[in-house]
Structure 1
Amino acid sequence: MAMHIERRALLKSFAAAPVLLSPLAAGCAKHGASSTKAGTLNIGQISNSVAFFPLFVAEEKGYFKDEGIKLGDRPRLGTGAKVAAALKSGSIDLGAGVLTDAFNLAESESGTTRVVSSLVTEYYVDIVVGKDFGGPAAKASLEARTKALVGRKIGITGPGSGTEALVDHLFEGIGKKAKTDATLVNLGSAATSAIGALKSGRVDALSFFQPIGQQAEADGSGRILISPARGDVTDMTGALHGVVFSTQKLLQKKAKEVKGFQSAIKRAQQDVQGDPQKVRELLEKYLKDTDPKALDALVPILRREMPQTPAVEREPYETARRFHLESGLVEKAPEFGDIKA
């Protein structure tokens, strides 16, 4: 008899379980979160450039937390080469950089590199010149503007970076070599160092990620001479540039976390396409001490450059792959199907 009562009580508790669980399930559905708890995810990024703004938004608004993801180390590593090295060592799980970095990693880690997320589908590095640079106006031909850089000191973040890649590509277009026909100065990724070098005359120009150009124009220290993102370099228009990448081994190890990461980034990207005032408020938190005029200029630019989903699409990838190969920035670049996660 006691056994029969216990059995009925157990069945009753099972029947009640869906009622107890439903509020949690509803909460997860409401926030777009995974019902399965993920774990720690270590993400390394080059810098606090605009390309990685969605990561900040996702963290600031609790989207990673919604997905059950605990963020571990999130170092700013300075160059894409250092991000790739951290991936190879396993000290980070995902690297936020540019597609050039993923291609360079793929050359040394053939068949294992994977591009996980699309962050920016325009080449968001600008050529910024100091106020005393002189030279042609922004409406002059690309050839004329590039020739004005020959023999100049040009600041870049570092060797093998997307900033160096743009200078190489522009010089190739006029039959020159950036390494011999200009002086490339490694400045690291800090915005203050870049702007300081331009103001002091240590460099004549910068090849630097946004928002350096917008800051220079806002404070009067320089102007944007060449901008692929505004269409100045036609063969780079619509190219996949800002990405999150990793290795197949790490993706398999952190499959749940990566799935949650993608969901969080998608929500953040949709926020960027939302209320401009809210975007500006978040951008002000992300890019601390940035001139208000620069922030005003950036908001519409970001809405044009950033996709609404982190899914890696073939056309932007192929555009980027083509210009990397044709300009000699890389010797090999994986086919779309071989690198897409």
Structure 2
Amino acid sequence: MRKIKGFILLSIGLLIFLSACGTGGTSKISIGEVTRSVFYTPMYVAVEEGFFEEEGLEIDLQTTWGGDTTMTTLLSDGIDIALVGAETSIYVYAQDSKDYAINFAQLTQTDGTFLVAKEEKPDFTWEDLRGENFLGQRVGGMPQMVGEYVLKKHGVDPHADVNLDQSVDFANIPSAFASGDYEYVQLFEPTASVFEREGTGHIVASFGEESGTVPYTGFMAKQSYMDKNEETVLKFTKALYKAQAWVQETDAMTLAEIVSPYFEDTDIELLASSIERYKNQDSFATDPLLDKEEWEQLKTIMDEAGELPEDVPYEELVNTEFAEKVIND
């Protein structure tokens, strides 16, 4: 009888323990980042500094390489959350998707590319691009659309005044520029700084500074996922906001040391200078709120590039509930 009582008590205790673990356990979130980039420093900080962990979240981060692949993976439930350009949510919406992607948190608020020239251009002007071979980005992607927007702002038609080549895949653009007959290219950091250090190219302008504030990269999830996981999305946004504030207050070298595991082949000083460059031009969003003015600027850039499929209202594809809550708490 004592053995039976002891077994019952042990069983009850085990059930209580398992119940407690079930209610206070960790939620796993799979994230697909469109590329691996220093541009996404605040997200890596949120992982490495334990901000997600503090909210009871376990992050499974994978690089999905390209906007099309990232959105396909999200829509097919291969990931829970996508880190990708906001323009992709407009493309999906325009295809009459029944369960489209909703933007709920912003990560970067400027373009992240730099204009790199093959030769040094100490007196560079945008007029220098006329007649030159320019290795462009993917049609319909934010780097290309912002690039066209900036060139037009300076009176240069990207399709008439320069020899624009958009035939190279995103991942192969740096090597194609280095080995090919191109005078100009758009590159993200740290690749732009690597090229400058090696003498392969020279940074002559920043598209981020030229194009102004825009919801360049952010987090989105399918509406169905957000409906079922409101608390998880809120915790995610809260962790991100902590990281964004931390990045603003932390020096570039410290940040470089934290994110260095994500860039094992990149020199720490070069990482720091890349992060400093992004900090100086306010590329990292200071909070997760994607505001309406930024959304309108995004549509303007897409429209001028001839890539806006329809005029999608801000309220349709942007959910500010989570961002506003973490900011105001």
TM bin, normalised by shorter chain, reads 0.7 to 0.9
Report deviation, 1:203: 4.6
Paired residues of 1:38 and 1:260 also in contact (CA < 8 A): no
Q: CA deviation digits over 1:58-112, x for unaligned, max 9?
A: 111222222111224x321111111111111121111111122232223224583
| Cα distance in 2 between the residues matched to 1:69 and 1:262 | 11
Structure 2 residue runs of 5 or longer lacking an equivalent are 1-22, 320-329
1:154 and 2:153 equivalent? no
Report deviation, 1:219: 2.4
Report deviation, 1:159: 4.4
1:280 and 2:256 equivalent? yes
For normalisation by structure 2, the TM-score amounts to 0.78
Partner of 2:236: 261
Residues 176 and 218 of structure 1, relative CA distance in 2, 3 Å threshold: closer
Say what the alpha-carbon RMSD is for the aligned residues: 2.9
- SS of corresponding position for 1:305: coil
Partner of 2:290: 312
- SS of corresponding position for 1:262: helix
Amino acid corresponding to residue 147 of structure 1 in structure 2: R
Residues 328 and 244 of structure 1, relative CA distance in 2, 3 Å threshold: same
Residues 272 and 253 of structure 1, relative CA distance in 2, 3 Å threshold: same
| Cα distance in 2 between the residues matched to 1:330 and 1:126 | 24
- SS of corresponding position for 2:202: strand
| Cα distance in 2 between the residues matched to 1:66 and 1:124 | 29
1:184 and 2:166 equivalent? yes
- From 48, 54, 60, the counterpart of 1:60: 48
Report deviation, 1:273: 0.9
Report deviation, 1:244: 1.2
Partner of 1:106: 93
| Cα distance in 2 between the residues matched to 1:36 and 1:333 | 43
Amino acid corresponding to residue 280 of structure 1 in structure 2: A
Residues 203 and 227 of structure 1, relative CA distance in 2, 3 Å threshold: same
Paired residues of 1:185 and 1:203 also in contact (CA < 8 A): no
| Cα distance in 2 between the residues matched to 1:109 and 1:210 | 35
Residues 147 and 153 of structure 1, relative CA distance in 2, 3 Å threshold: closer
| Cα distance in 2 between the residues matched to 1:243 and 1:199 | 30
Report the identity percentage. 19
Paired residues of 2:255 and 2:272 also in contact (CA < 8 A): no
Q: CA deviation digits over 1:191-236, x for unaligned, max 9?
A: xx4443332226543323232222222222101233222x2x3xx2
Pairing of 1:111-122 with structure 2 (within 5 A): 112-122=100-110
Amino acid corresponding to residue 286 of structure 2 in structure 1: Q
- SS of corresponding position for 1:95: strand
Paired residues of 2:174 and 2:187 also in contact (CA < 8 A): no
Q: CA deviation digits over 1:174-193, x for unaligned, max 9?
A: 34528x9422232333xxx4
Q: How many residues align?
A: 292
Partner of 1:210: 189
Structure 1 residue runs of 5 or longer lacking an equivalent are 1-34
